[in-house]
Amino acid sequence: MIKACIFDMDGVIVDSAKYHFLAWRRLAAELAIDFTEEENEGLKGLSRVDSLEKILLKGELHLDNDTKVALMEKKNSWYLEFIKGMQPEEVLPGVREFLEELKTNDIRIALGSSSRNAPRILEAVGLTSLFDSVIDGNKVTYSKPDPEVFLLGAKEVGVKPSESVVFEDAQAGVAAGKAGGFYVIGLGEADVLDQADIVLPNLENFTLERLQSLMVH
């Protein structure tokens, strides 16, 4: 019996990853580090701290903690400038319709994202009212693949992991969902998200009936 659905944000609800990439690339350039779109894929699902550490590792830079904090704040201020202009049409295909169907059928809806800016993005694209709980980077101690973000989401909406479905597009997120005891639907490439219970290309034309039929088989 499905009582709740918990969604990652970047790459699942919206594609704000492109704005993260622009901000990280700008920061890397300031540090004389070449940072590619392909390398940005490796940051999917990671916290801000872990993302910065990966970039610094590539540039073989060893910085003190205060400098790292200042760099993260700089990157975040650029990112906030980018997302301020996000529009409702940036919600990925099928997502709004699926969320509305879940709401109509009294399925609880939670967000489980490592992004500290998740509430701002939901507000910008007009989805805030559809979520019963938003667990973001401000509420968690551990980043994915630790399952904390999803376990908190399930707890806030009053369901067990076994009654919930997690939707993820990143390896770390899929691993987090499985570690927490959730049924996990991966969105993207099957060979990348091979730990997921089911992998779909996206949520276009996805329905609650389809979800229930997938879980029966």
- Kindly list the catalytic residues: 8, 10
User: Are 163 and 7 a contacting pair, CB within 8 Å?
Assistant: no
Residues 6+ apart with CB under 8 A from 2: 107, 163, 164, 165, 208, 211, 212, 215
Residue 136, amino acid: D
Distance CA 150, CA 55 (A): 26
According to DSSP, residue 198 is labeled E
| Nearest residue to 97 (alpha-carbon basis) of 4, 198, 206, 190 | 206
Cα distance between residue 12 and residue 185, in whole Å = 11
Could you identify the residue written with the tokens 């760099």? 71
